[in-house]
Amino acid sequence: MPNDEGERQRMDIHYHSLRLAMRNVLFCAPIEHPTSVIDVGTGTGIWALDMADAYPGASVLGIDLSPTQPSWVAPNLEFQLFDLEETWDMPLRFDFVHCREMNGFSIKDWPKYFEQAYTSMKAGGWIECQEFDLNVISDDHTIPEDSWVIRWQNLWEQGVQQAGMTGRCYPDKMADQMREAGFININIVPFKMPIGPWPKDPVLRQSGLLTLVGLLEGIAGLSMRVYTKFLGWSVQEMDILLAKVRTEWKNKKMHTYFPV
């Protein structure tokens, strides 16, 4: 994935879209007064910033491999550079561990991640993974199987698999990995993140509009390395396909969403 200003803007747009799809909650875990929170793969730090503002009595730590976070933050918030592939040796113990949109791109070894999170938590703490499945779905079958969107998606998944990654998310598998690490009381809370302003619900309509904006602006960066390096496409071939995909995504008759 690119790590430029455009990608950081896309990440923030996607954050707001996902939060709207989740009915504007920061998290779903049944924790009322968190005191020590870690945001794993914090990205631009936007979730950690909102969390620190919402819970001024909590100590919030955001970690990421890239230094893309703001320097001026609330006194209860800190950002640190950290490689998730390394062993967690943090002095703090957390009552809430949060990560978002890490499937395939950032966390390759989920069992190890859950094991390290478990050993870094206080007794009675909670962990939450807010992941979306890069798998376009339409409940009313308004997207044909031979659509350009589906073709792009299938080819993209082939490419990322060659790179040893995936854009797919399998909640039941993640739940099993959590249990193996020692977690209990595991719940899967499904949401739908619409693509485009087609929902009648005004909140979901806004979520879908933001998702669409992020996709239209970010699909080139998402596709470039996958298509040119791993699939062997030329940039011109990729651009032609992406133009057709963008046109389809703008079609309000296609009622599609990403599972969350």
Q: Which residues have a Cβ under 8 Å from the Cβ of 65 and sit 6 or more positions away? A: 81, 82, 83, 84, 106
Place of tokens 């320097």: 71
pLDDT of residue 173: 92
Q: Which residues have a Cβ under 8 Å from the Cβ of 121 and sit 6 or more positions away? A: 93, 94, 95, 97, 127
**Tokens coding 42:** 């914090």
pLDDT of residue 168: 83
Report the amino acid identity of residue 243. A
Architecture of domain 23-133+169-190: 3-Layer(aba) Sandwich (3.40)
Residues of the chain with pLDDT under 50: none
Q: In what order do the strands lie in the sheet with 121-130?
A: 77-81, 59-64, 36-40, 94-100, 121-130
> What CA dihedral angle connects 188, 169, 4 and 7, to 10 degrees?
-70
- Asked if 177 contacts 114 with a C-beta cutoff of 8 angstroms, the reply is yes
pLDDT of residue 1: 55
pLDDT of residue 4: 62
pLDDT of residue 108: 80
Task: Count CA atoms within 13 Å of residue 113 on its CB side.
Answer: 23
DSSP conformation letters of 162-180 = HTT--S---HHHHHHHHHH
Any idea where the domains of the chain sit in the sequence? 23-133+169-190
